Structure 1
Amino acid sequence: MRELVFALEYKPGCNRVADALADHPNARIRSLSLHATSENLWRVDHVTGDSDALADIENAFLTSDYYADCLATEDCGATQSTKVLDRTDNTLVLYSYWERTPDCASVPHIARDHLGDGVLFETRHEGRHYTWRLIHSDEGDVAAFFDDLETAVGECAQMEMLRTTETTASKGSTSRNASDLSPEQEAALRAAVDHGYYESPREVDVGELAKHLDMPRSTLTYRLRRAEEHLAKQHVANKSVPEEPPASL
């Protein structure tokens, strides 16, 4: 089995859910389950954020002209239904069912075409950044998958490969290191260090650094967050934790 992780960064106006998330930087969406056949797609999304964010994201799911995860740039004639399964003050759980037409395109269906049945999907949506994690049998054609995905995405989003690796590696293996970062994440991290972003006090804030690198602030923030997450998890996985905390001085 292989793990394939990539991200789509949607441009404004191309995806209503991404637009709603961009308006609420602290909101997040992650898929709990996502399954696809050649004609259908089912998924459950877990949304976190404040009440305004939840209302806007729910509205984006419920009132879109076509399914929010469809890669078509206009109404493709699909039949979709979204229902609220659960709601609290800061969480929202949505169930979606989508019946596609020959004009529809989505990441799961393109994956089925090239990677075969039984592909597992996990997604995380923050702002305009949509990260996909796929587990597949390694018997398909990954290059063809990305070629078709790039065609379907068109000008609406920028694709970024984050990693592809065997899923059998031990979580505690020391072979997982900073080189597991994507080139874009590593470049962002190096630039942040070089320009004093991690100094105390900081010599540059994320907005100034983004302007210096000539990239959107949201893109830089996303890459730094993902790099920091990976390095923190790597440190904890490889560091033995003492059973008793050290005595206070």
Structure 2
Amino acid sequence: MRYVRLALALPPERRHPMHQFVVESDEHGASRQLSWSVSVDGTISTVFRVEGSPDRYVDALETVDSIRTYHVAASTSGFYLYVREDLPESEFELATALDRDGLLIVPPITYREDGCAEFSLAGGSAAVQEAVDAVPESIDVDVLEIGQYRGQPFDRGGGLTDRQREAVRAAVDSGYYESPREGTVEDVAAALSCSPGTAAEHLRKAEAAVMSAVAGDRPDLPGL
């Protein structure tokens, strides 16, 4: 079974209003679409994990005409969001392009702060290629990873924030996790353009999140 991880550079007019809100917000990080279901009446029910405070996010939700109902559940460094809405036309077009027999979208779908949507596809080689080719021309496609599917963790990175993930990547690239250690916290700080203390804090929180996920200590999804 083929596996490909993509980042779609969505132009502003193709972004969901709440994705555009994340792009423009200084207080919110990426939102991750964890699970979704489309009803026969054309509505979609979705569970998201959003980085940041729910306060201003909820204010923005209230202005989106397509949303029928929503519910917010607070969590550490962010919140979970259940939302039911009419499926926007732009998302329907993209969903149709990716709808291929034997092809699966592997959650989560990450709506990044740079306007890209990042996700994985798994299925037969022909179906994967057809889906990539069917993406509308106005959307740039960046292939991040490709190969044989061997299973992916449900929440890649153990629920890390984008900044924590950047810190971990910088640490890996610098050799910080090699044995013997080749990189330093100062190297990570230089890559992130921040202080060594801030870099160390990002790494500490990232390591705590990943170890909690491995040990199975992360709390279950709050009741909605």
Task: Give the TM-score category using the shorter length.
Answer: 0.5 to 0.7
Instruction: Find the counterpart in structure 2 of residue 119 from structure 1.
Output: 104
- Equivalent residues in 2 for 1:115-194 (5 A)? 115-116=100-101, 119-122=104-107, 123-128=109-114, 129-136=116-123, 138=124, 140-153=126-139, 158-168=140-150, 193=174
Q: Tell me which residue corresponds to 1:109.
A: 96
Distance in 2 separating the partners of 1:139 and 1:124: 23
Amino acid at match of 1:116: D
Tell me the distance in 1 between the aligned counterparts of 2:151 and 2:69.
38
Alignment check: 8 A CA contact 1:28 1:125 kept: yes
Change (3 A) 1:64 1:151: farther
Q: Is the 8 A contact 1:17 1:61 kept in 2?
A: yes
Question: Which shows bigger deviation, 125-134 or 115-124?
Answer: 115-124
- Give 3-state SS (helix, strand or coil) of 1:48's partner: strand
Q: Give the number of the structure whose alpha-carbon radius of gyration is greater.
A: 1
Q: Percent identity?
A: 10
Give a deviation string over 1:83-129, Cα, whole Å, max 9, x none. Answer: 2133337413122343566x8744322111xx226634411223123
The 2-side partners of 1:57 and 1:143 are apart by: 36
Alignment deviations for residues 204-226 of structure 1 (CA, whole Å, 9 cap, x no partner): 34359xxxxxxxxxxxxxxxx9x
**How many equivalent residue pairs?**
171
Change (3 A) 1:42 1:119: farther
Q: Structure 1 residues 7, 61: CA separation in 2 closer, same or farther (over 3 Å shift)?
A: farther
Q: How far did residue 6 of structure 1 move? A: 0.7
Mapping of 1:203-242 within 5 angstroms? 204-206=190-192
* 1:93 aligned residue (78, 81, 86): 81
In 1, the alpha carbon distance for the partners of 2:152 and 2:104 equals 21
1:170 and 1:10 mapped to 2: Cα distance? 24
CA 1:141–1:50 in structure 2 vs 1: closer, same or farther (change >3 Å)?
closer
The answer for the alignment partner of 1:46 in structure 2 is 48
* Partner residue, 1:218: none
Residue 161 of structure 1 deviates from its aligned partner by: 0.9
Consecutive unaligned residues in structure 1, runs of 5 or more: 66-79, 172-184, 209-224, 238-249
C-alpha distance after superposition, 1:48-88 (max 9, x if no partner): 3333xx234344445346xxxxxxxxxxxxxx434213333
| Counterpart position of 2:3 | 3
CA distance 1:169–1:59, shift in 2 (3 Å): closer
Paired with 1:39 and 1:116, the residues of 2 have a C-alpha distance of: 22
Q: Which 5+ residue runs of structure 2 have no aligned equivalent? A: 154-165, 176-182, 195-201, 215-224
Deviations 1:128-155 (A, max 9, x none): 232112333x1643333223214152xx
CA distance in 2, matches of 1:6, 1:47: 20
Contact 2:42 2:87 survives alignment (8 Å): yes
CA RMSD of aligned residues (A): 4.4
Q: CA deviation at 1:5?
A: 1.5
**TM-score (norm: length of structure 2):** 0.54
CA distance in 1, matches of 2:151, 2:122: 14
